């Protein structure tokens, strides 16, 4: 609680200073770029700025600010949960399109593009599916048909309304998994083998010829050793290259961008180099789920600025690294944050004692990360930052 108040006070002081700061006469009638939204500033580069949307928050009449900021600051939206399999088909054969359709309608109303998330993932699967496979009542052959039907039904339902689909999510293991040699992990690889990846892209393309089809994963912001046995970025790069060589209709690779300030992370040059390598394969890229969390200590709970400030600054710097790298590559089409306010972040639920991951605090005050993002969008341009090159869906 103290921590919340401490941050809010700091931001109020900054806002007062800003108000006292008068524009020089030479600024004429130019609008102050700092007063413009992220989405408006992103359009200087044809870059779409997005957020994941929590439908409960969007529909909460007691919290109009969430809806207002979702509409005003962002030019693309992603369903945080309501397009996942357990939400769309909680009972076998009975689809629940309502919440996802609502998000699509909201996006249309606010002139926003939609990232579809997600068609194939090992998490948030409905119980009927996982228990059916576990008890043997769903055979491997039937499972493949079920997956094909799911992709076909979902992509057809949203046909023409989705800009980018996350077709396959998080298919690759991490070096800390067992075995430590990188491999295809999770429910789908276990039951269908790695070929499900290519199948999924083909089925998605058959259902919507125009959506951009993405592979999406975390810990692929930069290349490491270059050995696909332990460098996840390299593993994903090799996978994408093989898919392309086999004529699989993959259009892009999404880098989730879930970072933590306690880790080494990367600098702009490393991230830009990785985006360029993917672009050189003929793929679009995107940052799809950016947030930068920190460990919350007891001292922070008691308002200790020695511990709070370095974390807020490090979080902001990491947002900036990813955004600058994206700006620097003309094939990086969108930059989506995984929720914009600490009020509804998945981080404390998922990582326990971590938080402060988003660009607004719990009271909707913009944090340093927000302002750094704005600065990057404002103070960049030719010759190194140029408008995006649109991606054509591959057949």
Judged by the rule CB under 6 A, the positions of this chain that interact with ligand XIL are: 80-81, 169, 256, 289, 346
Decide: residue 190, CB within 10 A, 0-12 exposed, 13-18 middle, 19+ buried. Answer: exposed
d(CA 331, CA 327): 9
Q: Report which residue's Cβ sits closest to ligand XIL.
A: 346
Q: How far is the CB of 176 from ligand XIL (least distance, A)?
A: 16
d(CA 174, CA 169): 14
Q: How far is the CB of 347 from ligand XIL (least distance, A)?
A: 9
Q: How far is the CB of 124 from ligand XIL (least distance, A)?
A: 6
Kindly give, in sequence order, each residue whose CB lies less than 8 Å from that of residue 137, ignoring residues fewer than 6 positions away. none
Q: Could you tell me if 113 and 75 are in contact, meaning their C-beta atoms sit under 8 angstroms apart?
A: yes
Nearer to ligand XIL (CB atom), residue 348 or residue 393: 348
Nearer to ligand XIL (CB atom), residue 30 or residue 349: 349
The 8-class DSSP code of residue 341 comes to B
Q: How far is the CB of 380 from ligand XIL (least distance, A)?
A: 28
Active site residue: 80, 89, 221, 289, which one? 289
Nearer to ligand XIL (CB atom), residue 85 or residue 346: 346
Structure tokens at 193: 């083998």
252, containing H or E segment: strand 252-255
Q: Could you tell me if 287 and 252 are in contact, meaning their C-beta atoms sit under 8 angstroms apart?
A: no
Nearer to ligand XIL (CB atom), residue 63 or residue 301: 63
Q: How far is the CB of 218 from ligand XIL (least distance, A)?
A: 6
Q: Could you tell me if 332 and 286 are in contact, meaning their C-beta atoms sit under 8 angstroms apart?
A: yes
Nearer to ligand XIL (CB atom), residue 287 or residue 346: 346
Q: How far is the CB of 379 from ligand XIL (least distance, A)?
A: 31
Decide: residue 183, CB within 10 A, 0-12 exposed, 13-18 middle, 19+ buried. Answer: middle
Q: Could you tell me if 333 and 388 are in contact, meaning their C-beta atoms sit under 8 angstroms apart?
A: yes
170: annotated active-site residue: yes
Q: How far is the CB of 81 from ligand XIL (least distance, A)?
A: 5
86: annotated active-site residue: no
User: For residue 285, which of 333, 322, 233, 216 has the smallest C-alpha distance?
Assistant: 333
**Torsion angle, CA of 49/169/166/255, rounded to 10 degrees?**
30
d(CA 148, CA 199): 8
Residue 285 has φ and ψ, to the nearest 5°, of: -130, 170
d(CA 176, CA 231): 12
CA 273-279-285 angle, 5° bins: 90
Nearer to ligand XIL (CB atom), residue 124 or residue 225: 124
Nearer to ligand XIL (CB atom), residue 255 or residue 268: 255
Cα 137 from chain centre: 35
Q: Any bridge partners for residue 49, and if so which?
A: 335
Q: Could you tell me if 117 and 78 are in contact, meaning their C-beta atoms sit under 8 angstroms apart?
A: yes
Active site residue: 89, 170, 221, 307, which one? 170
Catalytic residues: 170, 289
């Amino acid at each position: 609680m103290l921590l919340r108040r401490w941050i809010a006070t700091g931001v109020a002081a900054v806002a007062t200073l800003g108000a006292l700061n008068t524009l020089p006469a030479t600024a004429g009638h130019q609008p102050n770029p700092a007063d413009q939204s992220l989405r408006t500033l992103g359009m200087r580069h044809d870059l779409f700025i997005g957020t994941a949307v929590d439908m409960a928050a969007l529909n909460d009449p007691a919290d109009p600010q969430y809806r207002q900021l979702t509409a005003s600051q962002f030019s693309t939206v992603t369903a945080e949960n309501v397009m996942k399999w357990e939400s769309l088909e909680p009972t076998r054969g009975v689809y629940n399109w309502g919440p996802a359709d609502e998000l699509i309608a909201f996006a249309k109303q606010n002139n926003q593009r939609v990232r579809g998330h997600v068609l194939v993932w090992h998490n948030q699967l409905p119980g009927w599916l996982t228990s059916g496979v576990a008890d043997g009542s769903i055979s491997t052959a039937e499972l493949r048909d079920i997956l094909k039907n799911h992709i076909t039904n979902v992509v057809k339902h949203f046909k023409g309304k989705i800009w980018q689909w996350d077709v396959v999510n998080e298919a690759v293991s991490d070096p800390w998994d067992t075995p430590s040699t990188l491999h295809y992990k999770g429910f789908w690889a276990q039951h269908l083998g790695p070929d499900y990846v290519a199948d999924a892209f083909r089925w998605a393309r058959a259902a919507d010829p125009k959506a951009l089809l993405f592979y999406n994963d975390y810990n692929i912001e930069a290349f490491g050793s270059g050995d696909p046995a332990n460098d996840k970025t390299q593993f994903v790069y090799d996978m994408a290259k093989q898919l392309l060589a086999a004529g699989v209709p993959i259009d892009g690779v999404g880098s989730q961008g879930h970072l933590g300030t306690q880790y080494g992370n990367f600098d702009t040059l490393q991230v830009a180099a990785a985006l360029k390598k993917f672009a050189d394969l003929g793929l679009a890229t995107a940052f799809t789920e950016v947030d930068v969390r920190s460990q919350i200590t007891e001292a922070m709970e008691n308002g200790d600025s020695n511990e709070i400030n370095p974390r807020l600054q490090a979080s902001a710097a990491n947002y900036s690294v990813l955004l600058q790298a994206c700006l620097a590559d003309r094939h990086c089409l969108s930059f989506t944050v995984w929720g914009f306010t600490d009020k509804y972040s998945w981080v404390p639920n998922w990582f326990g004692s971590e938080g402060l991951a988003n660009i607004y605090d719990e009271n909707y005050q913009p944090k340093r990360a927000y302002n750094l993002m704005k600065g990057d969008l404002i103070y960049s341009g030719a010759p190194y930052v140029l408008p995006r090159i649109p991606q054509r869906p591959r057949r």
